[in-house]
């Protein structure tokens, strides 16, 4: 394509600009409507340019942090309730929080396909979408009557036995569940869903008929837990219970990450730790966190603060829906105190739920999560948050809520951003590798 009389310098510049153009296209200028390819779905932050759920007026840095913190409170109470096996009603927060959890992917439901932007949630098995006739859902719903492949699941079916507290409406299997601060009533249904280019025929999901509260993701949920009726269980042959994601940073909202389903094209060069299974809480991904290093020092954390206990649900889970990592009180206090000690005499301030913030420029130590078989040293962006103006820096972790009997450490998504996290369920292992999500 090079014109015949181009000066070599011009040619070089031309080549360079093509290079930049294609780099830029490959990296950040992917449009919001770029279709998902193969078995890989683009992942957007709910505040992303591509998200219909982004705030109408952009939030200030401080507002976003405080909003994410209060959403986290509801999420942590919900996770605690899963662990405790009983429902915990979240404490009402001062602000109406309407978005939960943090990352969304595009799925296509029915024939012809209807596109929905559903929340990705590794701590839940179920998939559900708002359906026509729903009371309390938003304006974007799945119109089941327009799909030629849609059907309601009968009361007598095997799947109906797998949902919590099923009941019969006519002959249709229906169920109620709580999600965060919300309750949902849904019919159990089946239809084809498409994940990127992969059709999943007869996928069983909840078709929401009634929703209360504000924790329900507006266009539905894709549960990536591993219990019965989960997507993983239903796509055993297709994806072999293997997936990975790279979550983009909430600081670069024009970027998308990716959710890669199945064992193909997963990274080979990746460190692993064991995934633990709690038979009582089959959907959660427990890992064996054995210690935390601040700088080179292994912080003195009482062993019982980290120990896995299937009976009480204690231990550490990795979760895609919580934003800031929470450690049970003795673990958090130990990490925080060591971190503060390393900061010398710098004056500590707080921001919302963060109690270790600095308003002066500081040199921070490294932070390393020690899992069995794998140490993960976090880049600073994974454990510090800085205000846009650069005037405040906080350790982006907190202690687990103490108003419930809290035994759970949660490795949250800020700590996972710009890493590839590989869930290899058949081999009971979790892989972690640094990657810039694009």
Write out the residues near ligand NAG by the rule CB under 6 A: 49, 131-133, 144, 152, 165, 167, 169-170, 172, 176, 185, 187, 201-202, 207, 209-210, 254, 298, 370, 373-375
Least gap, CB of 242 to ligand NAG (angstroms): 21
Pick the closest to residue 386 from 245, 248, 247, 249 (CA basis). 249
Least gap, CB of 211 to ligand NAG (angstroms): 9
Q: Which is nearer to ligand NAG, 51 or 209 (CB)?
A: 209
Least gap, CB of 186 to ligand NAG (angstroms): 8
115 touches 104 (CB < 8 A): no
Q: Which is nearer to ligand NAG, 28 or 350 (CB)?
A: 28
Q: Which is nearer to ligand NAG, 206 or 321 (CB)?
A: 206
The bridge status of strand 397-399 relative to strand 221-223 is unpaired
Q: Which is nearer to ligand NAG, 240 or 349 (CB)?
A: 240
Least gap, CB of 185 to ligand NAG (angstroms): 4
Least gap, CB of 15 to ligand NAG (angstroms): 25
Q: Which is nearer to ligand NAG, 50 or 404 (CB)?
A: 50
**Catalytic positions, written as ranges:** 121, 319
């Amino acid at each position: 394509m090079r014109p015949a009389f181009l000066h070599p310098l011009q040619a070089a510049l031309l080549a360079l600009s093509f290079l930049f153009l294609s780099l830029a296209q490959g990296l950040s200028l992917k449009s919001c409507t770029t279709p998902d390819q193969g078995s890989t779905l683009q992942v957007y932050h709910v505040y992303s340019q591509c998200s219909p759920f982004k705030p109408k007026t952009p939030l200030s840095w401080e507002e976003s942090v405080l909003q994410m913190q209060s959403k986290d409170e509801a999420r942590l109470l919900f996770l605690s309730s899963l662990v405790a096996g009983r429902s915990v009603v979240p404490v009402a927060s001062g602000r109406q929080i309407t978005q939960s959890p943090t990352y969304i992917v595009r799925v296509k439901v029915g024939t012809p396909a209807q596109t929905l932007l559903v929340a990705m949630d590794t701590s839940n098995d179920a998939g559900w979408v708002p359906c026509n006739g729903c009371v309390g859902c938003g304006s974007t719903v799945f119109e089941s009557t327009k799909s030629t492949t849609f059907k309601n699941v009968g009361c007598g079916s095997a799947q109906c036995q797998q949902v919590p507290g099923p009941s019969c409406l006519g002959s249709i299997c229906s169920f109620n569940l709580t999600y965060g601060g919300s309750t949902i009533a849904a019919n159990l249904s089946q239809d084809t869903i498409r994940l990127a280019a992969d059709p999943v025929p007869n996928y069983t999901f909840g078709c929401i008929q009634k929703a209360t509260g504000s924790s329900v993701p507006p266009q539905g949920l894709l549960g990536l837990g591993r219990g019965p009726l989960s997507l993983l269980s239903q796509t055993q042959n297709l994806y072999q219970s293997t997936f990975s994601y790279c979550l983009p940073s909430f600081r670069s909202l024009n970027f998308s990450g990716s959710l890669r389903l199945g064992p193909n094209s997963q990274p080979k060069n990746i460190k692993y730790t064991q995934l633990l299974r709690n038979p009582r809480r089959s959907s959660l991904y427990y890992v064996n966190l054995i210690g935390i290093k601040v700088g080179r020092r292994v912080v003195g954390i009482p062993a019982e603060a980290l120990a896995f206990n299937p009976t009480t649900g204690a231990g550490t889970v990795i979760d895609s829906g919580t934003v800031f990592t929470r450690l049970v009180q003795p673990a958090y206090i130990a990490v925080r105190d060591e971190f503060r000690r390393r900061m010398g005499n710098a004056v500590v301030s707080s921001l919302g739920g963060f109690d270790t913030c600095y308003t002066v420029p500081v040199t921070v130590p490294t932070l390393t999560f020690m899992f069995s078989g794998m140490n993960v040293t976090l880049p600073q962006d994974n454990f510090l948050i800085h205000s846009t103006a650069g005037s405040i820096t906080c350790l982006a972790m907190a202690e687990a809520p103490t108003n419930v009997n809290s035994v759970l450490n949660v490795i949250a998504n800020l700590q996972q951003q710009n890493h590839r996290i590989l869930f290899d369920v058949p081999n009971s292992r979790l892989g972690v590798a640094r990657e810039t999500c694009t």
